[in-house]
Amino acid sequence: MFYRKLYKHLLIWKDKNGRKPLIIRGARQVGKSTLVNEFIREFKYFAALNLEKQQDRYIFENLERTHDIVDAIFLRAAIPFRKEPTLIFIDEIQESPKAISQLRYLYEDYPQLYVIAAGSLLEFALNKVASFPVGRVEQVVLHPFDFEEYLLALGKSDVLNELESVPLKNYAHSILLELFNDYTIIGGMPEIIGQFVRDKSIANLSPIFSNLWQSYRDDVEKYALNSTGRKIIRHIIDTAPLEKDRITMAGFGKSEYRSREAGEALRALDMARIIQLIYPTTSLEPPPVSDIKRKPRLQFLDTGLLNYSLGCQDLMIGLKDLSSINRGRILQHIIYQQIQAQNHTPLFKPLFWVREKANSNAEVDLVFQHGKFLIPAEIKSGMHGTLRSLHQFIDRVNHPYAIRLSANNFLVEKVRTPGGTPYFLMNLPYYASSKIAEYISWFVENY
């Protein structure tokens, strides 16, 4: 068992007053079951069910009264019904819409029980739920390993301590950069991390990547409405890694599919959290709102899987600056992945900013809300890459803060836009992207 940050959230949930059943969401193979099976150790009594097993699913599918369901669970687990804290873990809950509905009554009738459910592809299962327990459950998402979890898996707690120092000391820069580059190559899938920790060989990971990608494809195809839908999903999965930056639905992947057909397939993959659609915002102040009428970017579940599908892992070994791979797309992707992994709410996605006017287009890689400010961040190589879009953004807002993520050392400098607007530019090493919220707070407080 490798440490996952969500474990701390589970401990907080355990001690809450008015605690609700907890649903852990996330794509397959990100470690949901492993996490909860480790958390079970916090309890003297527990019952674990897996609804992919017919005998466990039977309890929810054939019993109507909550009292009977609880009795059957305790009998199946051979544990007494006592006042001591008892955890019920319902794994693969997407296999039984009735079980999802029952979470409401477990909350109302048995508040003394600790109930955790885990599932993937839940969005598809929810379409079959007659009464989703809105307001009676808590939901979180487990993502692939972020860079900090990766460092702990490697036993690099001393390096992690340096990363957690805000602002970090530049003497640790080269070590962190090298470790982050290795992490970017292999990504954060638990099975991949486990194999890499055992033998430190990237070459041995290809069979695992292949099996993972095929299993995702097989899973999502099951939820296509017909054979045509399955064919389109297969095409999307095969061609999506080759798309450059923002996408157009119509003719996706050099096909003849219409916008509606490709859009339905991409939204299915988005619901499965395998390939997500990241829409831009045009907002210059909080709250930033996604504009679904504009072209989105694609964000894969894991950068390691994307690298494998592109066949570029060997080209990345030993690089000093990841922005040289695939025109910076891989670097942008891993930074998005780091930011997303810090937020466990189901609806959260990173945001980028666009301004699309005649003869005046601009695009900023990321924007972050901090209080009354919307702060822009660009992902660039070197110290002197063009910041034209960022300057357009700064010229239009009421604050002086901007960020450049690169392979360079940490530095804050005072600069001006070509239009003469003064502002502070925080140059942040891209391996610190998982700490960007803390850096923004430090930045605004100190400048």
What does the pLDDT average to over 326-338? 91
On the question of pLDDT at 425 being above 60, the answer is yes
* pLDDT of amino acid 402: 98
Q: Percentage of the chain surpassing pLDDT 90?
A: 79
Tens of pLDDT, residue by residue over 167-211, are: 999 899 999 999 999 999 999 999 999 999 999 999 899 999 999
Mean pLDDT of 254-260: 93
Per-residue pLDDT, 216: 84
pLDDT tens track for 98-117: 999 999 999 999 999 999 99
Q: Given this model, what pLDDT does residue 328 score?
A: 82
Is pLDDT at 384 greater than 80 in this prediction? no
Per-residue pLDDT tens digits for 207-225: 999 999 888 888 777 767 7
Q: What sign has the CA pseudo-torsion 427, 350, 147, 381?
A: negative
Q: Please state, rounded to an integer, the average pLDDT across all residues of the chain.
A: 92
State how far the alpha carbon of 17 is from the alpha carbons of 10, 13, 111, 176, 335, in Å. Answer: 14, 9, 10, 40, 36
Q: Is the pLDDT of residue 58 over 90?
A: yes
Q: Are 444 and 372 in contact (CB under 8 A)?
A: no
| pLDDT the model gives residue 183 | 96
Q: Which contacts (CB < 8 Å, 24+ apart) does range 109-114 have? A: 109/66, 109/67, 110/66, 110/70, 111/18, 111/19, 112/83, 113/70, 113/86, 113/87, 113/88, 114/14, 114/19, 114/43, 114/85, 114/86, 114/87, 114/88
Q: What is the pLDDT of residue 162?
A: 95
pLDDT band at 360 (very low <50, low <70, confident <90, very high): confident
Does residue 317 register a pLDDT over 80? yes
Please give the pLDDT value at position 223.
67
Q: What is the pLDDT of residue 383?
A: 54
pLDDT for 120 beyond 90: no
**Chain position carrying tokens 């960007």:** 436
Confidence of residue 130 (pLDDT cuts 50, 70, 90): low
Report how far residue 113's alpha carbon sits from residue 90's, in angstroms, rounded to the nearest whole number. 13
Check pLDDT > 90 for residue 244.
no
The DSSP bridge pattern shows strands 401-406 and 45-50 to be unpaired
pLDDT value at residue 362: 93
Give the N- to C-terminal CA distance of the chain in Å, as an integer. 41
Read off the pLDDT band of 382 (50, 70, 90).
low
CA 340 to chain centre: 4
Work out the pLDDT band at 327, boundaries 50, 70, 90.
confident
Residue 362: strand, helix, or coil: strand
Residue range 145-159, pLDDT digits in tens: 999 999 999 999 999
Domains of the chain in sequence order: 6-141 (3.40.50.300), 147-341 (no CATH), 353-446 (no CATH)
* pLDDT of residue 24 exceeding 70: yes
Q: Which two tokens stand for residue 345?
A: 């709410």
What is the pTM assigned to this prediction? 0.94
Average pLDDT over residues 273-300: 95
Q: Is 227 exposed, middle or buried (0-12, 13-18, 19+ CB in 10 A)?
A: exposed
Q: Tell me: the pLDDT tens digits for 366-376?
A: 999 999 999 99
Nearest to 115 by CA among 2, 1, 59, 39: 39
User: What pLDDT score was predicted for residue 131?
Assistant: 67
Q: Residue 128 pLDDT more than 80?
A: no
Residue with tokens 């909080």: 286
Predicted local confidence at residue 345, as pLDDT: 94
| 119 against 376, higher pLDDT | 376
Give the sign of the dihedral formed by CA 29, CA 30, CA 32, CA 33. Answer: positive
Residue 194 and residue 196: Cα distance in Å, rounded? 5
